Chains A and B, each alone.
Chain A
Amino acid sequence: MANTHEVAFKLNGKDVQVSVVPRELLIHTLRDRLAHTGPHVGCETSHCGACTVDLDGMSVKSCTVLTVQCDGAELFTVEGLQQAGELHAIQQAFHEEHALQCGYCTPGMLIRAWRLLQETPEPTEQDIRYGLAGNLCRCTGYQNIVKAVQSAARKVADHKVAAQAPSA
């Protein structure tokens, strides 16, 4: 299809440029063109959150965002959470609290939880459950995910890490 658009955005701190047809979904650009296979497709209706990425400071479902809408945007995916080879506090907490099983929802959960902690640095259990309600998990029953976010919040408060955007 000849009708392509040049789209430029920052992905995990790096400038990228892609040439896409208007209907291409962000999740496909990320996964198929840019080899960022962390975000996954689960439902195609914005419900499951496996494809969650951070777009200009907001958690969005990349299965229902058009890539052309992202021109000039700043995007973060799970691949950007790790800093200089060090796991982010939220990644560490998910591991320590056994907050994942099959791992399919995990990238979306992590990037959403990372944003949640910036929106609400000292979340209650209710804040966390409400804040993660757009991300489904079929394996864990959420209990350990809640614990992980609480633990990460404490770590962040101690080390002041999640307030910064991760760099590439």
Chain B
Amino acid sequence: MGDMTELKAREDKLQGTGTSMLRKEDARFIRGQGSYVDDIQLPGMLFGALVRSPHAHARIKSIDKAAAKAVPGVVAVLTADDLKPVKLHWMPTLGGDVQAVLADGKVCFQYQEVAMVLATDRYAAADGAALVEVDYEELPAIVDPKKAMAPDAPVIREDIAEKKEVGHGPRTHPNHIFTWEAGDKAAADAAFATAAVTVREEILNPRVHPCPLEPCGCVASFDKGTGALTVYMTTQAPHLVRTVLAMLSGIPESKIRVVAGDIGGGFGNKVPVYPGYVVAIVASIVTGVPVKWIETRIENISTTGFARDYHGVGELAADADGRIKALRFTALADHGAFNSHVSATKFPAGLFSICTGSYAIPNAYARVDAVYTNKAPGGVAYRCSLRVTEAIYLIERMVDVLAQKLGLDKAEIRRRNFVQAEQFPYTTAFGWTLDSGNYHPALEKVLQACDYEGLRREQAARRADPNAPTLMGIGLATFTEILGAGPTSVCDILGIGLFDSCEIRVHPTGAAIARMGTMSQGQGHATTYAQIIATELGLPASDIVVEEGDTDKAPYGAGTWGSRSTPVSGAATAQAARKIRDKARKIAAHLLEVAEGDLEWEIDRFTVKGNPSQWKTMKEICMVAHTGNLPAGMEPGLNAVTYYDPPNMTYPFGAYLCVVDVDKFTGEVKMRRFYALDDCGTRINPMIIEGQIHGGLTEAFAVAMGQQMPFDEAGNHLGNTLLDYFLPTAMETPHWETDYTVTPSPHHPIGAKGVAESPHVGGIPCMSNAVIDAFAHLGVTHMDMPHSAWRVWQKCNELGINKRQTP
């Protein structure tokens, strides 16, 4: 064995797992050389602009294309009638429903796609779109999901009004989508009947939008000569999309190539297949030239995958000491006009059943009723895995409500209910097995770092002073995420298992290329995966190229969403690398003329046990693998491909603390401090992890403090530009403090769990808890998000605390 300095130098050279290696992908972005979909220019390309409905619910009496067609540069105007001959006027959705690609006789939400104008440039296309004359007969609209299943409610989806069954039970109303249940209702009810204390709150997760900076779009190019279709598009799941396109178009999947170049943020918004993509593809097939469709910001906010819209009711039953005995959660989910929610087929409400959070709750029951309304479809798991945000928001709010009722400290009630370290793997009342966790030390570390007791004393003093101009709130959230979708046995999309993949090819010089089934939207995959390979193969990460997003090159995978890249593809990467290392070991044994068992792996080489001066480096072995002198009968080369179907989800967790000051007179909430401790198991690139946490917390801040998508009674969207929809700037975004503990996943090959969604999932309840805590001494138990100054001021006014006290 070499001396420690030499070993360290060799290890440093690799920049493997645990190193804050600077990102390999930055080089093109900082030069302005990224390649996003709108950067693609193909010869003869047409531009498509969509005509959208001004009404939320209306029958289409006629469409007149003449004026649009007369615009110079306009080539064609496509409507549902033009799509019918190719049977593409309706498409399947990721929610197991069907959706009109272009409105077929009636529109069901405002801005629904009605026609596409194709023109030689974007200005002519926009001119044409403005001149398509559609004659509408307005129908009454349903905006409030609570009214959707009233006996006299207008039927939104006449096309499936007669459908009696859905995958998960009978439909009870034409506007009913599904009812989904989990857990044991009878057991939960029994525990409630005998509990010392019970609490109940109505809790809304309002409709919000992920709003990545790059809108959605595609360039479709159909080659009439070969019958092959290439689609450059903004997608987080290129392989799944290719499968859907093949099912839709009848073109063999092997003749479809989906290319996702650089993606300007996804956050869940770029998982579904949107009508614009499909029309552009049809248009390219019909015209024989490439067609580009890029949505505007208004189109992005008002029609592509929104998130949440869960009208929940949470209930907890506990003993007098605050030990939770049972939980009941129900939710009414507003899915819009078409059920295109991204959910695992086996769980239409996704992972809503993680709502026991970090707590050992013996009895639990959850139920989600989903309904159609006249709003845009496409609910996505916004920076969370399939509705875990809604679930954790509910439990983290309810634990606070219970603590308040019992007069217990909010840290103490968490301590009393946490799953204990020795209980892992712990199977929850919903049947999920939490793989590993160590909740108590994480919480204690945060409390100590922030001087929780001191903060409580300061708050008590503030509360005792009626003249204090501000209220002080302290929020805690101790959450558990459910990531790494997922074992194919429990999780799939449209029946396709959620495994993922990695193919590694090592070249003679020791440089390697890895191709993945996932797709980065800024998460730093090119660096992270290279670092895993560097550690596993002893080849420098800087020499390893990672490619994703081109279905012609990469092996099949379910893509990047639900923080599944590291838990699933990261595992596939480690396993593919290990296959290569196993072969390399055989070659090394052959070259050194020893048995395989006499070799040990040391950073970047195999050395002979007991004879450390004898070794073969990985780099030497790479050359040999391609030039000869191999063990008898061995194939040349050092390649491997792995499809990894995880045995379980991964369960990262965290403890967050937030301190706010609320101005009693203006309602403004100032976030004084936010401390986030995350445990995502093995940390591959600490710098990238921290960056992901900053971003997730900022998106949590936006949701908790300002985002909502309001509609009027007629279904008009009341805010779909960045003038109206709150995206925080550098001015209002707080400073984030980060910390960590490490509890590796026992079933992941390198112990990693995934992280980027944790700050969103844990951040939102933590911020809400802080704001509501500021009012807790005034008897307030819950306030719905967003906690904008206007809404907080309304609460101050209602409580009469915004009046100056006369001495």
Is B602's beta carbon under 8 Å from chain A? Answer: no
Give A167 Cβ to nearest chain B Cβ, in Å. 16
Of A48, A96, A105, A144, the contact of B691 (CB 8 Å cutoff)? A144
B522 to chain A: which residues have CB within 8 Å?
100-103, 139
Q: How large is the interface on B (under 10, 10 to 19, 20 to 34, 35 or more residues)?
A: 35 or more
A41 to chain B: which residues have CB within 8 Å?
38, 215, 294
> What is the total number of residues of chain A having a CB less than 8 Å from a CB of chain B?
58
Verify A42–B267 contact, CB threshold 8 A. no
Give B417 Cβ to nearest chain A Cβ, in Å. 31
Q: How far is the CA of A44 from the CA of B36 in the complex (A)?
A: 17
Of A21, A91, A103, the contact of B264 (CB 8 Å cutoff)? A103
Interface members, chain B 693-744 (any A CB < 8 Å):
694-699, 721-723, 727, 729-731, 733, 735-736
Verify B697–A40 contact, CB threshold 8 A. no
Q: How far is the CA of A102 from the CA of B691 in the complex (A)?
A: 12
Give B805 Cβ to nearest chain A Cβ, in Å. 33
Is A106's beta carbon under 8 Å from chain B? Answer: yes
B35 to chain A: which residues have CB within 8 Å?
37
B424 to chain A: which residues have CB within 8 Å?
none
Give A101 Cβ to nearest chain B Cβ, in Å. 3
A45 to chain B: which residues have CB within 8 Å?
297, 721-723
Verify A102–B730 contact, CB threshold 8 A. no
Is A14's beta carbon under 8 Å from chain B? Answer: no
Give the residue name and chain of the B residue nearest to A142 (CB): B730
Give A168 Cβ to nearest chain B Cβ, in Å. 14
Write out, one digit per residue, whether chain B residues 213-253 have a CB within 8 A of any chain A CB (1) or not (0): 11100000000000000000000000000000000000000
Q: How far is the CA of A23 from the CA of B126 in the complex (A)?
A: 13
Q: How far is the CA of A10 from the CA of B274 in the complex (A)?
A: 40
Q: Which of A67-75, A124-132, A156-164 contacts B (4 or more CB under 8 A)?
A: A124-132
Of B72, B213, B267, B687, the contact of A136 (CB 8 Å cutoff)? B213
B733 to chain A: which residues have CB within 8 Å?
129, 141-143
Give A153 Cβ to nearest chain B Cβ, in Å. 15
Is A5's beta carbon under 8 Å from chain B? Answer: no
Verify A42–B214 contact, CB threshold 8 A. yes
Give the residue name and chain of the A residue nearest to B41 (CB): A32
Q: How far is the CA of A37 from the CA of B736 in the complex (A)?
A: 33
Q: How far is the CA of A87 from the CA of B72 in the complex (A)?
A: 44
Q: Which interface residue of A79, A94, A96, A104 has the most chain B CB atoms within 10 A? A: A104
Interface members, chain B 645-689 (any A CB < 8 Å):
687-688
Verify A43–B265 contact, CB threshold 8 A. no
Is A16's beta carbon under 8 Å from chain B? Answer: no
Q: Which interface residue of B28, B29, B522, B691 has the most chain A CB atoms within 10 A? A: B29
Verify A102–B212 contact, CB threshold 8 A. yes
* Known A-B contacts A100-B30, A104-B34; A136 and B22 likewise in contact (beta carbons under 8 Å): no
Verify A141–B698 contact, CB threshold 8 A. yes
Is B448's beta carbon under 8 Å from chain A? Answer: no
Give the residue name and chain of the A residue nearest to B298 (CB): A44
A143 to chain B: which residues have CB within 8 Å?
694, 733, 735-736
Q: How far is the CA of A129 from the CA of B265 in the complex (A)?
A: 22
Give B624 Cβ to nearest chain A Cβ, in Å. 36
Give the residue name and chain of the A residue nearest to B40 (CB): A37
A36 to chain B: which residues have CB within 8 Å?
32
Write out, one digit per residue, whether chain A residues 77-111 have a CB within 8 A of any chain B CB (1) or not (0): 11101100001000100111010111111110010
Interface members, chain B 279-305 (any A CB < 8 Å):
294, 296-297
Is B331's beta carbon under 8 Å from chain A? Answer: no
A103 to chain B: which residues have CB within 8 Å?
25-26, 28-30, 34, 262, 264, 522
Is B586's beta carbon under 8 Å from chain A? Answer: no
* Known A-B contacts A129-B731, A141-B694, A144-B694; A91 and B30 likewise in contact (beta carbons under 8 Å): yes
Verify B213–A102 contact, CB threshold 8 A. yes
* Known A-B contacts A79-B32, A102-B263; A132 and B722 likewise in contact (beta carbons under 8 Å): no
Verify B213–A50 contact, CB threshold 8 A. yes
Write out, one digit per residue, whether chain A residues 103-122 have a CB within 8 A of any chain B CB (1) or not (0): 11111001000000000000
Q: How far is the CA of A137 from the CA of B212 in the complex (A)?
A: 9
Give A159 Cβ to nearest chain B Cβ, in Å. 18
A107 to chain B: which residues have CB within 8 Å?
29, 32
Give A54 Cβ to nearest chain B Cβ, in Å. 13
B694 to chain A: which residues have CB within 8 Å?
140-144
Give A114 Cβ to nearest chain B Cβ, in Å. 12
Give the residue name and chain of the A residue nearest to B700 (CB): A141
Verify A38–B32 contact, CB threshold 8 A. yes
A32 to chain B: which residues have CB within 8 Å?
41
Q: How far is the CA of A33 from the CA of B692 in the complex (A)?
A: 36
Give A78 Cβ to nearest chain B Cβ, in Å. 4
Q: How far is the CA of A142 from the CA of B25 in the complex (A)?
A: 19
Write out, one digit per residue, whether chain B residues 290-326 have a CB within 8 A of any chain A CB (1) or not (0): 0000101100000000000000000000000000000
Give B546 Cβ to nearest chain A Cβ, in Å. 16
Verify B30–A47 contact, CB threshold 8 A. no
* Known A-B contacts A1-B72, A102-B213; A141 and B722 likewise in contact (beta carbons under 8 Å): no
Verify B730–A128 contact, CB threshold 8 A. yes
Give A22 Cβ to nearest chain B Cβ, in Å. 11
Give the residue name and chain of the A residue nearest to B28 (CB): A103
Verify A138–B695 contact, CB threshold 8 A. yes
Interface members, chain B 1-56 (any A CB < 8 Å):
22-23, 25-36, 38-39, 41
Is B781's beta carbon under 8 Å from chain A? Answer: no
Verify B213–A138 contact, CB threshold 8 A. yes
Of B212, B523, B695, the contact of A141 (CB 8 Å cutoff)? B695
Is A60's beta carbon under 8 Å from chain B? Answer: no
* Known A-B contacts A28-B122, A133-B730; A98 and B687 likewise in contact (beta carbons under 8 Å): yes
Q: How far is the CA of A40 from the CA of B262 in the complex (A)?
A: 13
Q: Which interface residue of A94, A98, A143 has the most chain B CB atoms within 10 A? A: A143
* Known A-B contacts A24-B123, A139-B695; A133 and B729 likewise in contact (beta carbons under 8 Å): yes
B122 to chain A: which residues have CB within 8 Å?
28
Is B92's beta carbon under 8 Å from chain A? Answer: no
B154 to chain A: which residues have CB within 8 Å?
none
Verify B29–A100 contact, CB threshold 8 A. yes
* Known A-B contacts A44-B297, A100-B29, A141-B736; A136 and B727 likewise in contact (beta carbons under 8 Å): yes
B26 to chain A: which residues have CB within 8 Å?
94-95, 100, 103
Give the residue name and chain of the A residue nearest to B296 (CB): A44
Give B745 Cβ to nearest chain A Cβ, in Å. 24
Give the residue name and chain of the A residue nearest to B33 (CB): A38
B265 to chain A: which residues have CB within 8 Å?
101-102, 104, 138-139
Give A163 Cβ to nearest chain B Cβ, in Å. 20
19 residue pairs of the A-B complex, CB under 8 angstroms, read A23-B123, A31-B39, A37-B38, A40-B38, A42-B214, A82-B31, A100-B26, A101-B522, A102-B264, A103-B34, A106-B30, A129-B733, A132-B730, A133-B729, A137-B213, A138-B698, A139-B265, A139-B695, A146-B730
What would 6 more interface pairs be, CB under 8 Å, given A42-B213, A136-B729? A40-B213, A45-B721, A78-B31, A101-B691, A137-B213, A142-B729
B residues sitting closer than 8 Å to A (CB atoms) are 22-23, 25-36, 38-39, 41, 72, 122-123, 211-215, 262-265, 267, 294, 296-297, 521-524, 687-688, 690-692, 694-699, 721-723, 727, 729-731, 733, 735-736
